[in-house]
């Protein structure tokens, strides 16, 4: 319940309960959808908040019960899907990549690197946004990026199996990712992203990406979101013939038993290196190495 209230404060404002109108609830719903939440998640937050309003009404804290704002979750609604090649090429030929533009809300070089990291690691957006420079390191002659739990640094993972490391794909090295990381040495985070009240580093950035994806890249399929990079990576693993255990170790889908069986914190590196070396995205036109040119953002959708 507290999270539903926090969402309301974040997206609508700290409005006294007696002053809340149905339009405020409509705004909340629209803002939640704009953050790339699934319809089922939006419905859950809206239902929780409405339960609080009903409690306020039953305890005479508000004079009348506001009509509910419904959120439809279709039984046939399909999950988010992978990006197809036209969508990927639209993303990686947009002005961030083709002209070196850096929209303000895209947070500088985050606008360039986070989508590429999403594609070539399959990591969740929050995992990428909370990386520190020393999370990219060299092990046995291979560059890797690790995803760990570190409360002091504000780094969280979804579950035990999400603690992992992934070899850096050759395409990322070719584009200069390691050089970018080295230039960030000493910084607390790899990307200059503001953390929200819930401790999340991805909230503002992923909203920007969702708007940019539709308004600038022209990718209009509502089932394609940042999370589609994760699905695309899984598809690439399957296409490369990577076995399920290794694929799960790369994407953090294990329960921790696979890596713990080897007596270490991580799954063994050699099969991960071999697997990532086989990953290809046929038809993808790799963008040029990064340039920087600050520009204004398009208006939110």
pLDDT digits (tens, 9 = 90+) for 200-257: 888 899 999 999 999 999 999 999 999 999 999 999 999 999 999 999 999 987 544 4
Burial 38-58 (b: 16+ CB within 10 A, else e): eeeebbbbbebbbebbeebee
Reply yes or no on whether the pLDDT at 1 is more than 60.
no
- When pLDDT is cut at 50, 70 and 90, the band that residue 258 belongs to is very low
Q: What is the average per-residue pLDDT within 52-80?
A: 81
Exposed, middle or buried, 115 (CB in 10 Å: 0-12/13-18/19+)?
buried
pLDDT at 2: 67
**What SS3 state is found at 150?**
strand
- How many C-beta atoms lie closer than 10 Å to residue 165's C-beta? 23
Q: How many CA atoms lie within 13 A of 70 on its CB side?
A: 3
Report percent pLDDT > 70 for the chain.
Answer: 90
- By mean pLDDT, which of 144-158, 176-190, 278-292 is the weakest? 144-158
- When pLDDT is cut at 50, 70 and 90, the band that residue 172 belongs to is very high
**What SS3 state is found at 251?**
helix
pLDDT at 32: 85
Q: How far apart are the C-alpha atoms of 33 and 41, rounded to whole Å?
A: 9
User: Domains of the chain by range and CATH?
Assistant: 2-58 (no CATH), 85-295 (1.10.443)
pLDDT at 123: 94
Reply yes or no on whether the pLDDT at 142 is more than 80.
yes
Exposed, middle or buried, 11 (CB in 10 Å: 0-12/13-18/19+)?
middle
Q: How far apart are the C-alpha atoms of 262 and 99, rounded to whole Å?
A: 46
Q: What is the mean pLDDT of the chain?
A: 87
Q: How far is CA 113 from CA 85, 189, 206, 259, in A?
A: 19, 13, 13, 28
pLDDT at 246: 94
Is beta strand 293-295 parallel, antiparallel or unpaired with respect to 101-103?
parallel
pLDDT at 212: 94
pLDDT at 300: 53
Q: Which helix (H) or strand (E) holds 43?
A: helix 39-58
Q: What is the average per-residue pLDDT within 166-184?
A: 95
Reply yes or no on whether the pLDDT at 89 is more than 50.
yes
Q: How far apart are the C-alpha atoms of 178 and 158, rounded to whole Å?
A: 26
Token pair 């038809």 is found at: 283
The answer to whether residues 301 and 186 touch, using CB atoms and an 8 Å cutoff, is: no
Q: How far apart are the C-alpha atoms of 84 and 75, rounded to whole Å?
A: 24
- 152 compared with 286, residue with greater pLDDT: 286
Q: Determine the Cα angle at 68 with ends 63 and 74, to 5°.
A: 170
């Amino acid at each position: 319940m507290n999270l539903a209230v926090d969402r309301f404060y974040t997206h609508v404002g700290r409005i006294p309960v007696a002053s809340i109108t149905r339009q405020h609830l409509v705004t909340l719903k629209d803002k939640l959808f704009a953050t790339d939440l699934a319809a089922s998640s939006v419905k859950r937050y809206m239902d929780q908040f409405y339960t609080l309003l009903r409690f306020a009404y039953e305890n005479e804290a508000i004079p009348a019960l506001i009509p509910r704002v419904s959120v439809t979750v279709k039984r046939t609604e399909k999950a988010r899907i992978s990006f197809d090649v036209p969508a990927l090429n639209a993303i990686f030929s947009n002005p961030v990549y083709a002209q070196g533009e850096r929209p303000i809300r895209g947070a500088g070089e985050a606008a360039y690197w986070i989508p590429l990291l999403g594609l070539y690691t399959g990591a969740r957006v929050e995992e990428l946004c909370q990386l520190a420079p020393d999370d990219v390191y060299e092990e046995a002659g291979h560059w890797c990026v690790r995803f760990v739990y570190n409360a002091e640094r504000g780094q969280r993972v979804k579950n035990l199996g999400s603690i992992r490391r992934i070899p850096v794909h050759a395409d990322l090295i070719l584009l200069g990712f390691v050089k970018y990381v080295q230039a960030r040495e000493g910084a607390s985070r790899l990307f200059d992203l503001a953390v929200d009240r819930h401790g999340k580093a991805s909230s503002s950035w992923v909203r920007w990406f969702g708007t940019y994806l539709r308004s600038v890249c022209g990718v209009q399929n509502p089932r394609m979101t940042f999370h589609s990079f994760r699905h695309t990576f899984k598809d690439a693993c399957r296409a490369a013939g990577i076995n399920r255990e290794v694929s799960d170790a790369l994407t953090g889908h294990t329960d921790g038993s696979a890596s713990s069986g080897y007596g270490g914190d991580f799954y063994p590196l050699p099969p991960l290196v071999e697997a990532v070396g086989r990953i290809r995205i046929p038809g993808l036109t790799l963008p040029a190495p990064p340039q920087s040119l600050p520009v204004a953002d398009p208006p939110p959708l």
